[in-house]
Structure 1
Amino acid sequence: MEIYLDANATTPVLPQAKAAAIQAMVEDYGNPSSVHSTGLKAKALIDGVRARAQRLLDTGDGALLFTSGATEGIQTAVLSALSALRGNLNADYLLYGATEHKAVPEALKHWNAVLGLGLQILAIPVDAQGRHDLEFLRRHAPRAGLVCTMAANNETGIVSDLAGIEAALGDSACYWLVDGVQALGKLSLKLRSSRIDYAPFSGHKLYAPKGIGLLYVRAGAPFTPLMAGGGQEGALRSGTENMSGIAALGAVLAALEDGQTLRDSATMQGFRQRLADALCEAFPGLVFNAPLDVSLPTTLNFAVPGLSSRLLQDLFDAADVRVSGGSACSAAKAAPSFVLQAMGLPDWQAAGAVRLSIGPAVDEAFIDEACARIRACGESLRRHCLSPADNLPTLGEGITRFMHDGACCYLLADSASRRCVLIDPRPEQVDRLVQALHCQDYPVLAILSSSGEAEHAEARGLLMDLLNAPLRPTVAVDALGWPNGQEALHLGERRLLRKPCTQGQVLLLNAPQAPDTSAIAFTGMLDAQALRALALPLAASCFLAPGRDEAQQVVLGLAEAADTPHLLTGAQLQSFIKQHPNALLVDVREPFEQFLSQTPELAGAQMQAVALSRLMNALPEWLDEPGRPLLFFCRSGNRSRQAAQALTRLGHPNAWTLNGGLALMPSFSAKAPAADPALYV
């Protein structure tokens, strides 16, 4: 069962809305502009939905037209206002809230340029609570042509002080656009009694399908159609009406009116508090990025010290809980939230933000399950040494790679001798490394740098300060961290050697009995030819662990082949297993994800779990079986692609990746946390 907690991005379609849309497609399919009975029936449907929307929004004699959604509504409103400003010598500014959805400032820039107005576009600052600086607004409103604010913010849920904004506008002749997208069905909007000139709304944020929206235009406000043509919508918005979308939106509005189908504000506040309590229990140190008392009762925006937004999203997704890192329109860009930055929050909060949002159709059972999943996420972090507090001891073994902005750090651990070595740590990784080393509880033999970067030395100093005394290296070291007077560092049956070079040192990890065949070279050099020039005792099968990996290559080889693996879709998976009974399916998700989710149930499949961060540990065994197909999979297909490309580049002819990952497989769903956390070998 999927727990969808990203309602501010979009919502599922309400069953009544789905039924209404189907009825419109099957029965009420007439063109509302036609004068025959079928067309008149369609026209009556549109008029009925419009009248219902006018009642709910209390529009008075203002116009309400159907659009394709909020973006079209914003474009239309901005075009209308700016067209009216041509030749207006009293307007110098176009103002918008600093936390506004990007659709607004982008529309202002576009139409300001297209119409050649040359007005100055200014962001209205916000305070730490995300509310507009009314003093700034009072100073600039007299020379403003258009002011754009939100009723409620899509990322934080902060509710704007619309009454305060209206008072700050005073006697200004400016036009006022209010983005009402997140307010529909959550806030009481009485547009008749406000000076708001334009208010766009979007159906898919409140259980209607995508592609349908509304735009309110105050009576007397200037209007320039964005869509010209057949004259539909009273010549305000041409184009044949989206009958199924309008019918579905009407069903949602009817649910708002009946007061029974959707939850009221008090109930939603109770649900939100339960979710907030579960989050605080699951993630010690969690902070909410927006005060709840001035936020929508549907929205929580939070950050957890030491945990990135992406890690948290992967964690929730593994539990089949859908959240986002902020605005869905920019979530794929992995940038800090500009909304939280505008509020003046610390960088770690802006970069680590996660948004959880619900809609008023959720019920008690849904909230119960959501809270249980959230607590399971916290348990997974504790079992895998990722929680800010109360972590359980973990077993350290083999090579683990830690990444930060393309830089690679490696932890080499041996469970038999209970020793470890760190290679190429960076200051940004220190807290995470200290946490891992304390959970593992192995003394650190050395903290080494392969390239001599100043950041490595800085990280070494920080680690020495933060590690418990029994774990810190105790011998004197050179500038690269190598212990003075030692030729090799022993990690059980393996030993770590070094070869100084002009760019630092190459660190070779191998087994004493087979130094040529099993070597792994940790190096800042990515040029295999330069590495061979050092005349190291390396076989062609040697792996290179790079100090940087912006290209997501994971591991390199001295002699590399092409890196185009075979692609497989989820629909082909079962037949692939039948055709290749000896195939090995490799789950490259991280242990904390594996703990929370299940893999597909596939008859006859042989499976192994090897996280991408620990891929090097399994390479020798896999490369010794070139005839055995290896199919890598993960959640989205990105990490499995990296793994398959690495194997193909190293010469394995039968590396495959599950294209699109488990996310595109209908059988993939969450499970209860496993009793035994030892899932990875």
Structure 2
Amino acid sequence: MEIYLDANATTPVLPQAQAAALAAMASDFGNPSSIHSTGLKAKATIDSVRASARRVLGAPTGRLIFLSGATEGIQTAVLSALTALKQRRKQDPGTAPSLLLYGATEHKAVPEALRHWNALLGLDLTVLAIPVGPDGRHDLAWLREHAPRAGLVCTMAANNETGVISDLDGIAATLAGSPALWMVDSVQALGKLPLALLERGIDYAPFSGHKLYAPKGIGLLYVREGAPFMPLMAGGGQEGAARSGTENMAGIAAMGAVLAALEEGRCFRPSATLHGYRARLAAALEEAFPGLQFNAPAAHTLPTTLNFSVPGCSARLLLDLFDAAGVRVSGGSACGASKALPSFVLQAMGLPAWRTASAVRLSFGPAADEAFIDEACARIRACGQALRESCQGLAAGSAETADGVVRWLADGGCCHVVADRRSGRCVVIDPQPEIVERLVSWLRCQRLNVAAVLRTGAPRDDGIEAAAAILRSAFSVIATDGPIRLGERRLAPLRMKGDAIGFVLDNGLGPRLAFVRDAAGVPKDGLAALEPEDLVVCTHDPHNRLARRVGDEHGDAGEVGDEWAIDAPALHRLLDNEPSARLIDVREAYEQCLGAGLALGGQAVPLSCVLDALPGWLALPANTPLVFFCRSGNRSGQVARALRRLGHARSFSLAGGLALWPHAAQEVATLDERMPAWE
């Protein structure tokens, strides 16, 4: 069972809405512009849904236009307002407004629309962001100062990332007497907040159906009676010439079913119930992740949204963890999630960098029920337990002590820990400041004593030295310049060009690993102390090459072709035809624990431990197929490409990972029967 907690990005379609859409496609498919009976039935549906929308929104007057969604509504509103401003400037250039204002935490669709139409219409108005406080609400004093010169003010009813509810009454009072038109992005408010569009004097309010159980591709735009209006879409004159193009009858019918459900009050929970659900989810999160911090005050946020950060845990780690447990959350706005950037919303609120970079958003819809929340809380607690048991949280765990090389990623580069389970000793190479707190916790949880903290590259004063000082203090490390023995492993200084420093790890069983700062530090003569089969590992590894051969002069983004990705049918054929093929799960231990039912069998080698396994894989016969998989295919793709660069051409990654694996639960037993138990 999937626990979907990303409702601020989109929602499933309400069963009543599905039925209404299918009915519209099957029988009420007429063109509402046609004058025959089938067309008249379609026109009657549109009129009925519009009337329902007026009642739900409390908008008996003004335009209510059906369009594709909030982005089109925002574009239409901005175009309408700016066209009116251009006309005003022609008539009276001396008193025309000079500013366009938007909330600093607005969805990117708003400032982008402002800049686009401002440039296209040749207005050259100044576009400014309205500051927000630590609570995410607009700075009304700043707005009051700038409002007299503003032509358009754009604010949100509620923020999509944090759930912070804007002080719309305060904004309305601040704008009283201002010449500015006012647009309120109401996407997250529908079904959750009373908007009082008329009472507050809101000029434009866009809505999007897919944020409240309607399909994607349908939305509404409210335009106050008397507010300037300019159609974005010109053509056949549909929607009273407000939005040309044949109407999306299936979407309108589906949205009508959602609006009817809102009017009836049976599908959606009352506010008090939703607040209770949020409190239970918040308690489960705090129990699962000690030290967790919520990024917005509960008193001024939607009862369906929680935004939080966990000390020492990146947003990527948490997203992988939740996804392995079948819990769908996001790292902020869905539109910006793929960019993996710090949240600009939290930055605007002035939150510390670690919180803006590691924030996770949890959101549910108002149709959620008790059983759903029960299961969500149980899985959140299971996530915390899995993190502790793998020693990845800040609380103690029970994981088996690490043995070999463990790779830690941070924004600034890589940190490597060389551990020896038998002696309980380890060496830390290039500790990164972003992860040092979590690293200290992990080392203690692993019951490892730090024998040395080393750094590669030329000596310089940077964050690595500060992180090293924290480790030396936490573990009473004794400084050493000579070789260090960790059981059968020996770590020795490596001669580099200039005053650069490197280290070489030898376990006596095959190719050695040379740790250096970056590829530029590797002399062209091939590091005299190493052999051609040895592997070079760079602390600075922006393209996730993992390792390179001695003397490898290829660029960081060297091409390996595109045949490394293998889809499900091809994987089935490979396993049927080549019994020597190996499946390797590179998800981390906490993911494997939570997602055991999705595993495909084979060998488990977390990405963080791949460096230890590389020599063994490279020693296999060249025709041995190696197929790596993870949650999405990104990490397994890194490993497959790395092995191909290192010479093992038959390395593959399962395209789309487990997320796209067809009928994964049914396939497990079949694949497990084919796979030997690899040691």
Task: Please give the TM-score of this superposition, normalised by the length of structure 1.
Answer: 0.92
Q: 1:178 — aligned with what?
A: 184
Which one of the candidate residues 493, 500, 524 is aligned to 2:517?
Answer: 524
> What root-mean-square deviation, in Å, do the aligned CA atoms of Structure 1 and Structure 2 show?
2.0
Deviation at 1:305, TM superposition (A): 1.2
1:490 aligned to which of 485, 488, 498: 485
Determine if the alignment matches structure 1 residue 646 to structure 2 residue 642.
Answer: yes
TM-fit CA distance, 1:572: 3.1
Structure 1 position 668, deviation (Å): 4.0
1:399-438 CA deviation, whole Å, 9 max, x = no partner? 0011222512110011122221111223333212211221
Give the C-alpha shift of residue 449 in structure 1.
1.7
Determine helix, strand or coil for the equivalent of 2:406: strand
CA distance in 2, matches of 1:457, 1:242: 61
Change (3 A) 1:176 1:511: closer
Instruction: State how far apart, in whole Å, the 1-side matches of 2:566 and 2:253 are.
Output: 40
1:545 is matched with 537
1:613 aligns with 2:608: yes
1:403 to 401, 404, 409: 409
Distance of aligned partners of 1:607 and 1:546 in 2 relative to their CA distance in 1, 3 Å threshold: same
Match of 2:58 in 1: 58
**CA deviation after TM superposition for structure 1 residue 524, in Å:** 2.5
SS at match of 1:417: coil
2:114 is matched with 108
Where 1:241 maps in the other structure, the secondary structure is: coil
Structure 2: how far apart are the matches of 1:103 and 1:244? 25
Q: Which of 586, 596, 618 pairs up with 1:623? A: 618
Q: Residue 26 of structure 2 aligns with which residue?
A: 26
Question: Does the 8 Å CA contact 2:564/2:641 hold for their aligned counterparts?
Answer: no
- Structure 2 distance, partners of 1:244, 1:495, is 69
| Cα distance, 1:27 vs structure 2 | 0.4
Q: Deviations over 1:445-485 (max 9, x none)?
A: 22112213423433322211233xxxx323x43xxxx2xxx
Partner of 2:469: 461
Moved over 4 A (4+): 559-562, 599-602
Any gaps of 5 or more consecutive residues in structure 2?
90-94, 667-676
> Displacement, 1:222?
0.9
Deviation at 1:314, TM superposition (A): 1.2
SS at match of 1:94: strand
Query: Unaligned stretches of 5+ in structure 1?
Result: 671-678
Deviates more, 1:445-454 or 1:103-112: 445-454
Supply the AA of the counterpart residue of 2:533: S
Q: Report if aligned partners of 1:449, 1:504 keep a CA contact under 8 Å in 2.
A: no
Larger mean CA deviation between 489-498 and 282-291 belongs to 489-498
Cα distance change, pair 43–453 in 1 and its aligned pair in 2 (3 A) = farther
Find the residue that maps to 1:618 and give its secondary structure.
helix
Q: Which amino acid is 1:540 matched to?
A: P
Distance 2:527 2:137 in 1: 61
Amino acid at match of 1:371: C
Matches within 5 A, 1:411-490: 411-454=417-460, 455=462, 456-467=464-475, 472-474=476-478, 476-477=479-480, 482=481, 486=482, 488-490=483-485
Deviation at 1:96, TM superposition (A): 1.0
One-letter code aligned to 1:628? T
Aligned residue type for 1:632: F
Instruction: Spell out, residue by residue over 1:496-518, the C-alpha distance to the aligned partner (whole angstroms, 9 max, x if none).
Output: 22233224233121134x6xx43
Residues 31-83 of structure 1 deviation map (CA, whole Å, 9 limit, x = unaligned): 00000000000000100000000111111221101010000000101110111
- Give the conservation status (yes or no) of the 8 Å contact 1:97–1:150: yes
Counterpart of 1:148 (choices 130, 151, 154) is 154
Greater shift in the superposed pair: 451-460 or 296-305: 451-460
1:251-330 aligned within 5 A: 251-330=257-336
Q: Using a 3 Å threshold, how does the CA distance of structure 1 residues 320 and 503 change in structure 2: closer, same or farther?
A: farther
User: Does the 8 Å contact 1:406/1:549 carry over to 2?
Assistant: no
Aligned-partner SS, 2:240: helix
Q: Which residue number in structure 2 is paired with residue 334 of structure 1?
A: 340
Residue 601 (structure 1) shift: 6.5
Distance in 2, matches of 1:528 and 1:566, equals: 29
**CA pair 163-528 structure 1, distance change in 2 beyond 3 A:** closer
1:632-671 alpha-carbon deviations (Å, 9 max, x no partner): 001111111111111111211321111111111133479x
Partner of 1:235, secondary structure, is coil
Cα 1:529–1:374 change in 2 (3 A) is closer
Is 1:632 matched up with 2:638? Answer: no
What secondary structure sits across from 1:228 in the alignment? Answer: coil
Amino acid at match of 1:530: P
Q: Do the aligned residues in 2 keep the contact of 1:13 with 1:207 (CA within 8 Å)?
A: yes
Equivalent pair of 2:524/2:551 in contact (CA under 8 Å): no
Contact 1:589/1:635 (8 A) holds in 2: yes
Q: Which moved more, 1:356-365 or 1:426-435?
A: 426-435
C-alpha contact (below 8 Å) 1:157/1:296 kept by paired residues: yes
Correspondence for 2:92: none
* Alignment equivalent of 2:592, drawn from 591, 594, 619: 594
Which amino acid counterpart does residue 563 of structure 1 have in structure 2?
A: V
Check whether the contact 1:62–1:192 (CA below 8 A) recurs between aligned residues.
Answer: no
User: Is 1:77 equivalent to 2:77 in the alignment?
Assistant: yes
Aligned residue identity for 1:589 = R
Q: In structure 2, how many angstroms separate the alpha carbons of the residues matched to 1:177 and 1:534?
A: 64
Q: Confirm or deny: 8 A CA contact 2:158 2:302 kept in the other structure.
A: yes
1:542-581 equivalences in 2 (<5 Å): 542-558=534-550, 563-564=560-561, 566-581=564-579
Structure 2 contact 602–678 (Cα < 8 Å) conserved: no
SS class of match (1:300): strand
Closer, same or farther: CA 408–435 of 1 in aligned 2, 3 Å: same
Deviations 1:588-612 (A, max 9, x none): 111111111026466xxx6000011
Task: Name the counterpart of 1:535.
Answer: 528
Is 1:40 aligned with 2:40?
Answer: yes
The DSSP-based 3-state class of the residue aligned with 1:19 is: helix
Contact 1:12 1:207 survives alignment (8 Å): yes
Q: Show the counterpart of 1:217.
A: 223
**1:3 & 1:571 partners in 2: Cα distance?**
28
Kept in 2: contact 1:499–1:505 (CA 8 A): yes
Deviation of the 1:525 alpha carbon:
4.6
How much has 1:331 moved relative to structure 2?
Answer: 1.1
Amino acid corresponding to residue 649 of structure 1 in structure 2 = R
Instruction: Output the TM-score relative to the length of structure 2.
Output: 0.93
Matching residue within 648, 656, 662 for 1:660: 656
Amino acid at match of 2:619: D
Supply the AA of the counterpart residue of 2:560.
D
